[in-house]
């Protein structure tokens, strides 16, 4: 497996090592779910181009490495490709060791991939089950490891609430350097260019993309990815708050690191179905 290490400056006396996993996209359903769900599992497994046994073996290899080498195993969402009885069991079983910290992804709430009505109401259908299976809270959570305050929040639908920002401000006020963990990366010019120009995608799939840019998206993606004022305020706060040192994200399925401003780095972890592993060394 290809291994990449990013070194991030947190001003620590002793380094903290993090295995950063994301977007595993396990696609499994059994007889406890309906035929449509079981067919979806097969179709999606095929779409990712990797049999579940092989994906499981990549997962086990990564987790074994993280358990023996790292202080924390961070997963930034889309462990499950969709909601099924077996996938929620797997989320619970696989992340039950105390070393896991989790930022939920959009696919954790997918009933059937491709649903067009993914909004707060839609999320309610599964949020409680996902929360019970998860190693920590979904809406907002924090955990201190080696003098770093890891904060996770749910921005899986491209939105962040005022209450989440206020909870983040309270964590920053505690004075430890903050690593903000969330599924969807925040908008930067470099990442927007990377997605829409270099990779030729029809939209950037980022949180807080200015409406002047999302107006060129198709109607569905524009509705999905245009930020509200609270989200724009959140992104503005994150970009300017010196206590926040890193944004640890996923969702895009490729490895990425950029300086958002001096002292703030944004990292995107590779998809778990790729033969890649990302380790972060916080120093
Ligand atoms: Fe995602």
pLDDT in tens, 214-235: 999 999 999 999 999 999 999 9
Q: Which helix (H) or strand (E) holds 225?
A: helix 219-225
State which fold the 2-282 domain adopts. Transcription Regulator spoIIAA (3.30.750)
For residue 228 the two structure tokens come to 């509200």
Percent of the chain with pLDDT over 70: 100
CB neighbours of residue 8 within 10 Å: 22
Q: What does DSSP say about strands 264-268 and 244-249: parallel, antiparallel, or unpaired?
A: parallel
Q: Which residues surround ligand 1, an ion (CB under 5 A)?
A: 78, 105-106, 251
* Residue-level pLDDT at 97: 85
* Cα separation values, 100 from 93, 103, 115, 137, 147, Å: 11, 10, 29, 12, 17
Å from CA of 3 to ligand 1 middle: 22
Q: Which of 9, 18, 17 is nearest to 242 (CA)?
A: 9
Å from CA of 219 to ligand 1 middle: 19
Å from CA of 78 to ligand 1 middle: 6
C-alpha to C-alpha distance for 133 and 91, rounded to whole angstroms: 6
Q: Who's near 37: CB < 8 A, 6+ residues apart?
A: 29, 82, 84, 112
* Residue-level pLDDT at 277: 96
Å from CA of 14 to ligand 1 middle: 33
Q: Is the pTM of this model over 0.95?
A: yes
Question: Which sequence spans correspond to the domains of the chain?
Answer: 2-282
pLDDT < 50: residue spans in the chain: none
* Residue-level pLDDT at 206: 98
Å from CA of 107 to ligand 1 middle: 6
* Residue-level pLDDT at 117: 83
Å from CA of 25 to ligand 1 middle: 9
Å from CA of 9 to ligand 1 middle: 27
Å from CA of 183 to ligand 1 middle: 7
Å from CA of 19 to ligand 1 middle: 19
Q: For residues 228 and 211, is the Cβ–Cβ distance under 8 A?
A: no
């Amino acid at each position: 497996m290809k291994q990449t290490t990013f070194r991030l400056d947190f001003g620590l006396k002793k380094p903290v090592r993090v295995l950063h996993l994301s977007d595993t996209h396990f696609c499994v359903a059994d007889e406890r779910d309906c035929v449509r769900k079981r067919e979806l599992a097969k179709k999606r497994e095929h779409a990712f181009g990797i049999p579940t046994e092989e994906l499981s073996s990549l997962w086990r290899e990564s987790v074994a490495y993280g358990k023996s080498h790292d202080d924390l195993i961070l997963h930034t969402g889309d462990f499950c490709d969709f909601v099924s009885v077996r996938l929620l069991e797997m989320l619970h079983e696989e992340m039950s060791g105390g070393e896991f910290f989790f930022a939920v992804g959009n696919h954790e709430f997918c009933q059937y991939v491709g649903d067009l009505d993914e909004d707060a109401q839609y999320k309610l259908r599964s949020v409680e089950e996902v929360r019970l299976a998860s190693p920590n809270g979904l809406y907002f959570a924090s955990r201190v490891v080696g003098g770093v305050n890891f904060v996770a929040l749910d921005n899986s639908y491209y939105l962040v609430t005022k209450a989440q920002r206020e909870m983040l401000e309270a964590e920053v006020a505690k004075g430890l350097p903050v690593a903000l963990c969330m599924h969807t990366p925040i908008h930067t010019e470099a990442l927007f260019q990377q997605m829409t120009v270099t990779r030729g995608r029809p939209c950037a799939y980022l949180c807080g993309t200015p409406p002047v840019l999302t107006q060129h998206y198709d109607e569905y993606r524009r509705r999905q990815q245009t930020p509200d004022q609270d989200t724009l305020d959140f992104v503005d706060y994150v970009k300017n708050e010196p206590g926040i040192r890193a944004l640890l994200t996923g969702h895009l399925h490729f490895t990425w690191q950029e300086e958002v401003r001096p002292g703030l780095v944004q990292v995107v972890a590779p998809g778990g179905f790729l033969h890649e592993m990302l380790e972060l060394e916080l120093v």
